Amino acid sequence: MTAPDATSPAGPGTAPTSWRDSLSVYLQPRVLIVLFLGFSSGLPLALSGSTLLVWMRESGVDLKTIGLFALVGTPYTLKFLWAPLVDAMHVPLFTRAFGRRRGWLLFSQLLLIAAILLLALTDPARSPFYVALGALLVATASSTQDIVVDAFRVESLPESEQAAGMASYVAAYRIGMLVSTAGALFIVSGFESTGITRTSAWMWGYVVMAAMVLIGTVTALVATEPEQSVRAEAATQTQTAFARVLHAAIGAFSEFLTRKDALAALAFVVLFKFTDAFSGTMTAPFVIDLGFSRNDYAAIVKGVGLAATLIGGFAGGFVARRYSLASSLWIGGVVQALANLSFSWLAFIGTSQWALAFAITCENFTSAIGTVIFVAYLSALCQNPLHTATQYALLTALAAVGRTYLSSGAGFVADTTGWPLFFVICMLVAIPSLVLLAWLQKRGHFEQLGPVRV
């Protein structure tokens, strides 16, 4: 595998002539649109994940039940099943008024707002079933939005702006996640300080998060329909809806599965971020159990966590440009696994603010490195522009298997082993992915992919 030219973020031949040109790319309207859409994609993930787990833990829900709530992320693992529908079907009224991609964007965002508001009306202490149902609806609407945003990003950005668009998207996605974790916790604390009950404070916190989805809605309204989408729509006007769906689905799967070592590559996609997912499921309950307040956790995540995430994202981009894809994956895989040891150390230290800040910094910095490199790998696997949206949905859905299914037993493991040993186990679960990485590298898998745009 040959790494892209070190002077060019988008590969050989596209290097900017100066730092001013490099900076100006990030200010292009299309890149800014992708940036705000990245925020909209990252925002809802924690609302059915880590933030919801804090709400449940404060409501007295036991660790085993909390661990099982990882299963509400199922839509993120199955979204490839309806991705062909998003590629081929029209949304009544929306598609006619706004276009193929923008219509689906607006439709999925309105569904997402409704789902978050429904989740806000539930009570974890009294009705965990309805909480699970609300979280499942949020995850479904969120994963549908992700399908459309990924397709919009690929189709709207020219080659010269793909690198800046990817960097902006990943950074904004992580910021959206931080807003719905630390930001949501601060907002809940603010409402609680006014004298309302904790249940009402959480409800209004989720209402504010629902309102923030409107950032993506306004962005979709301001954006223009990608030219590639317009041409694809014109080219398939004579086909029936069923034919379009069938072509998108069968073409995406058959093209990928005929590749050499396809199944091993898919297994690697599932396992690479598992070490992050397994620990991330229980990080918030761990911090609460250790004796930190909700505000302590939120302040550190929002402060040093945000800084570490952004720096880690740039570091991941540097690693991916500087080294081959295989070497970059080795670096990302090892550092994100080792970061778990900082939480084992924190479990021995106890309620130390600076120790918590160090652990959160390690987690966010290494996770961002791994994420940027992993996204570069997923993009390299999507080699056929006819099936990009569906293939990318398939790969990201498989990547969510670790977070959703394999991590569902994390609560049982933590309850059995205790926190120090639990995070050591979180590090060890990275070993299968590294074994697969070594095997794929030996088989020449990465050389077959060609240069990767980062």
How confident is the model over 161-184, as pLDDT tens digits? 766 677 778 888 988 988 998 899
| 120 pLDDT more than 70 | yes
d(CA 19, CA 25): 10
Could you tell me the domains of the chain?
27-228+238-449 (1.20.1250.20)
Over residues 363-369, the mean pLDDT reads 90
Decide: residue 442, CB within 10 A, 0-12 exposed, 13-18 middle, 19+ buried. exposed
**Residue located via tokens 């070993």:** 431
pLDDT at residue 324, rounded to an integer: 86
pLDDT bin (cut points 50, 70, 90) of residue 160 is: low
* pLDDT over 50 at 443, yes or no: yes
pLDDT at 450 exceeding the cut of 80: no
Give the model's pLDDT for residue 453: 41
Q: Which residues contact 127 (CB under 8 A, 6 or more apart)?
A: none
- For residue 77, pLDDT beyond 50: yes
Highest mean pLDDT among 303-312, 353-362, 375-384, 428-437: 428-437
Q: Side chain identity at 277, as an amino acid letter?
A: A
The amino acid present at 75, given as its one-letter code, is P
User: What is the predicted pLDDT for the residue at 222?
Assistant: 95
Instruction: Report, as an integer, the average pLDDT of 35-57.
Output: 92
pLDDT reported for residue 15: 41
- Alpha-carbon gap, residue 42 to 76, rounded angstroms: 13
pTM exceeds 0.75: no
Q: How confident is the model at residue 2 (pLDDT cuts 50, 70, 90)?
A: very low
To the nearest 10 degrees (0 to 180), the angle between helices 214-222 and 100-120 is 170
pLDDT of residue 192: 93
pLDDT mean across residues, the chain: 84
